[in-house]
Amino acid sequence: MSKKVFVTGATGFTGGHLARHLKAKGNDVIALAREGKDTSALEAAGIAIARGDLLNADSLARAVKGVEIVYHIAAVYREENIPRQTFFDVNVEGTRHLLKAAKAAGVQRFVHCSTVGVQGEISNPPATEEHPFKPGDYYQESKLQGELLALDFFKKENMSGAVFRPVGIYGPGDTRFLKLFKFIGSGKFRMFGSGEKLYHLTYIDDLVEGIRLMGETPSIEGEVITLAGGRYTTLNELAQTIADVLEVKLSGMHIPVWPVLIAGAVCETVCRPFKIDPPIYRRRVDFFTKDRAFVIDKAKRLLNYNPQVDLKEGLSKTADWYKSEDLIS
């Protein structure tokens, strides 16, 4: 089924993989890219570029003309040294601009990327999509507002749209888990806390196939669907699997979390005025202190989503990519 599709966030990790996956599946893919961003790799893959910005409604109206499916992946996510308001400007108001542009252009399906972070820490894991909202920081708060805005817009404007919530995305091209790989690879890794908290990863190839299904599966209007890997682990098992992949020994030592939380708060306060990325920040520490484990029954039932990549295989592929980029030795 070849469609004219539009992907935001394609200059980033997930959107880039998604744009290439949709192209490989035979779609006519247009990617939104901000002025000055290097798009040569996307163009080499046969992806057309529409220059624009989520903050510029006119640029979006021009970009989505004739588009059948919108995959809205872009968000302010990784940056730590930008004003809090920017998260809301891009993740909420930017989403509003895109929804309006898509509606005006007669787009047939709008797929909105949220995050399981809107549910914050999971009590009684694993969680379904119904677990209560509990955003833990302003990024997650902005994603929650974006998700609710999209669902409300679909309903009020009678627009075919659905929301997916990814969980810990990893794979070649991502650097979010690089610090963990480096730390474990150095042999100096110490687990913060007990290591018995649960964590759930999603390999990028599985995720982009799930996102494609969100765009192409009929009768999922207004649904919210969690997309995650086939299983979750404790942090201890995750660290051990990374150590196995890197062929290093884990010290097995644990250190208390609270000094790190205090150090994170201090680093954030000191670094923010100087627009420096803090070496430790509390959102990173959440990784060690919050249960994040999810049920993917709804994705299986509604989308026939069926993640293929085993955790160890995915971590090996990620390590191989880090090595090929000289990010780890």
Ligand X SMILES: NC(=O)c1ccc[n+]([C@@H]2O[C@H](COP(=O)([O-])OP(=O)(O)OC[C@H]3O[C@@H](n4cnc5c(N)ncnc54)[C@H](OP(=O)(O)O)[C@@H]3O)[C@@H](O)[C@H]2O)c1
Q: Which is nearer to ligand X, 98 or 303 (CB)?
A: 98
Nearest approach, Cβ of residue 74 and ligand X (Å): 3
Residue 293 is a binding residue for ligand X (CB under 6 A): no
Give me the 124-143 binding string for ligand X, x by CB under 6 A, dash otherwise. -------------------x
Consecutive H or E run containing 203: strand 202-203
Q: How many CA atoms lie within 13 A of 30 on its CB side?
A: 18
Give me the 30-59 binding string for ligand X, x by CB under 6 A, dash otherwise. --x-x--x---------------xxx----
Nearest approach, Cβ of residue 73 and ligand X (Å): 5
Residue 271 is a binding residue for ligand X (CB under 6 A): no
Three-class secondary structure of residue 61 per DSSP = helix
Q: Which of residues 8-27 bind ligand X (CB under 6 A)?
A: 8-9, 11-15
Nearest approach, Cβ of residue 138 and ligand X (Å): 13
Identify whether the C-beta of residue 21 lies closer than 8 Å to the C-beta of residue 203. no
Identify whether the C-beta of residue 234 lies closer than 8 Å to the C-beta of residue 167. no
Q: Which two tokens stand for residue 295?
A: 């049920």
d(C-alpha 98, C-alpha 54), whole Å: 7
Q: Which two tokens stand for residue 256?
A: 């208390």
Nearest approach, Cβ of residue 66 and ligand X (Å): 20
Query: With contacts defined by CB under 6 A, how many residues of the chain interact with ligand X?
Result: 28
d(C-alpha 233, C-alpha 199), whole Å: 6
Stretch that binds ligand X, among 72-80, 262-270, 289-297, 320-328 (CB under 6 A): 72-80
Chain-centroid distance of CA 155 in Å reads 25
- Which residue has 């020994």 as its token pair? 249
Residue 113 is a binding residue for ligand X (CB under 6 A): yes
Q: Which is nearer to ligand X, 1 or 242 (CB)?
A: 242
Q: Which is nearer to ligand X, 9 or 215 (CB)?
A: 9
From residue 253, alpha-carbon distances to 16, 133, 188, 195, 245 in Å are 38, 34, 9, 10, 19
Q: Which is nearer to ligand X, 74 or 105 (CB)?
A: 74
Nearest approach, Cβ of residue 142 and ligand X (Å): 9
Residue closest to ligand X, measured at CB: 12
Q: For 6-122, where are the alpha helices, taking DSSP H only?
A: 13-24, 40-44, 57-63, 84-88, 95-104
Q: Which is nearer to ligand X, 74 or 214 (CB)?
A: 74
Identify whether the C-beta of residue 33 lies closer than 8 Å to the C-beta of residue 49. yes
Q: Which of 19, 22, 64, 90 binds ligand X (CB under 6 A)?
A: 90
Please count the residues of the chain. 329
d(C-alpha 300, C-alpha 226), whole Å: 10
Nearest approach, Cβ of residue 247 and ligand X (Å): 26
Nearest approach, Cβ of residue 77 and ligand X (Å): 4
> Of 289, 315, 24, 31, which Cα lies nearest the Cα of 174?
315
Q: Which is nearer to ligand X, 62 or 259 (CB)?
A: 62
Give the pairing type, strands 198-200 and 232-234: antiparallel
Q: Which of residues 193-232 bind ligand X (CB under 6 A)?
A: none
Nearest approach, Cβ of residue 203 and ligand X (Å): 11
* Residue type for position 126: P
Q: Which is nearer to ligand X, 98 or 191 (CB)?
A: 98
Binding site for ligand X (CB under 6 A): 8-9, 11-15, 32, 34, 37, 53-55, 73-78, 90, 94, 113, 115, 143, 166, 168-169, 176
